[in-house]
Amino acid sequence: MSGFSMSRRGLLAGASAFGATAALSACGAKTGSATSSSGAKADTSGDTVKVGLLNSLSGTMAISEVTVHNALLLAVKEINAAGGVLGKKLKPISQDGASDWPTFAEKAEALITDDKVVATFGCWTSASRKAVKPVFERYKSLLFYPVQYEGLEQSPYIFYIGATTNQQIVPALDYLKKQGLTRLYLVGSDYVFPRTANKIIKAYAEANGMTVVGEDYAPLGSTEFSTIVNKVKDAGADAVFNTLNGDSNVAFFKEYKSAGLTAKSLPVLSVSIAEEEVKSIGTQYLEGQLTAWNYYETTPGAANTEFVKAYQAAYGADKPTSDPMEAAYISVYLWKEMVEKAGSFDVAKVKKASAGIELDAPEGKVTVDGTTQHVHKTARIGKIGSDGLITEVWNSGNPIKPDPYLKDYDWASALS
């Protein structure tokens, strides 16, 4: 009986706290719109302006997001050393999303309303992006998102610096088709990115004479893959298309090798394994397997040599650089170009100035597409070597125009 009354009191306290938060945030939005046409007013009065860095520095995603955070800090430091943006130094404000989606939304709101940042950089998982999207839209503040994702999204307040599907998954399928690997087995983690990606893969396969012989999803964080690997083995596939995320990859590839499968007998093409992950899974399990990205540490060019050198000087000579890190790094530079072209930190003006901004990035030339707020990027297929580095075996030649809704692809008409 006492337990009941206690829990009821707890419930009441929770409810009133919730009411208070709701009232507070409504209040915040109101004052924001009163003081500025663009929502919460970013503070640009002093010698410095604040930029928000929103990454998971703890929890299960920290493994990947800490490296992105490091790359963002490096870019901010370099920009400050070169004189800042519009004569103002940048002050990075780091917030820990803690691999928890509601926390991301909370911290995003804190960055915008308390710290009055001029722009925010970060998020990794699609779930965290979807959680903060309404916050950035409500306050009309900008988020730069650095990771490849499943497409089918176009928020007016997000710049998507990572690849959308037609710059990563579709070229990867083109490559497999060209190699004559037409019977695919799809293995992915059970959440929005792999499910959407596989929907696209199945539509592509149907239109291009390829067959999907099996499809399996494991819960995020799952470490038991013996049965899935048995199924893959029995299915008679030519290749495995892997959209697993995080720790699961380690267990999957260890199991894959134990079962006697190799890159020669049944290649795996992964879209979420970059240099950092290769290191933590172990090259002995990955040698010869394929990946699809827009950037590798080995990508040739002066801009990349400099980026790798600067990153390793700051964080250690044994630290690899990867695609999401590179995208995070250039996202700060792209924003700087936009602000300087606009001559103002004002969100509406920055958005307007974004179209056609170009950068000689470590990954090659990138151009911002003003309409979709995505970036033209070159697709690259790589092979994992015994030294843990990924070397390119194929690229798309020219940067591919971003097409988040796959409007230019007939076979994808049923998807969006």
Partner 1 sequence: MTVILNQSFTGISIGAVLLLIALGLTLTFGQMGVINMAHGEFIMAGAYTTYVLQKDISGAGVSLLIALPLAFLVAGSLGALLEWLLIRRLYTRPLDTLLVTWGVSLMLQQLARDIFGAPNVQTHAPDLLTGNISVGGITLANNRLFILGLALLCVLGVTLILRLTPLGRRIRAVVQNRDLAEVSGIATGRVDRMTFFIGSGLAGVAGVALTLVGPIGPTMGTNYIVDAFLVVVVGGIAQLKGSVITAFALGVLQSVLEYSTTVSVAKVIVLVAIVAFLQWRPQGLYTLRTRSLA
Q: Which residue ranges make up the site for partner 1 (CB under 8 A)?
A: 57-60, 62-64, 66-67, 190, 216-219, 221-224, 226-228, 230-231, 234, 247, 250-251, 254-255, 257-260, 276, 279-282, 284
* Positions of E strands within 103-260: 119-122, 143-145, 158-160, 183-189, 211-218, 239-243
> In this complex, which beta carbon is closest to partner 1, that of residue 226 or of residue 305?
226
Radius of gyration of the chain (CA): 22
| Shortest distance, position 210 Cβ to partner 1, whole Å | 22
Q: Which residue's structure tokens are 């008409």? A: 413
Q: Which phi and psi (to 5°) does residue 2 adopt?
A: -65, -35
Smallest separation, CB 250 to partner 1 (Å) = 4
116, 42 contact by CB (below 8 A): yes
The residue among 251 and 412 lying less far from partner 1, judged by its C-beta, is 251
Closest CA to 172 of 263, 294, 328: 294
Closest CA to 374 of 345, 405, 346: 405
Residue 259 vs 310, nearer CB to partner 1: 259
Q: Under DSSP, is residue 89 helix (H, G, I), strand (E, B) or coil?
A: strand
Please give the single-letter amino acid code of residue 152.
L
Rounded to a whole number of angstroms, the minimum distance from the CB of residue 326 to partner 1 is: 17
Closer by beta carbon to partner 1, 6 or else 23: 6
Nearer to partner 1, 64 or 373 (CB): 64
Query: What does the alpha-carbon distance between residue 52 and residue 73 come to, in Å, rounded to a whole number?
Result: 11
DSSP secondary structure letter of residue 166: G
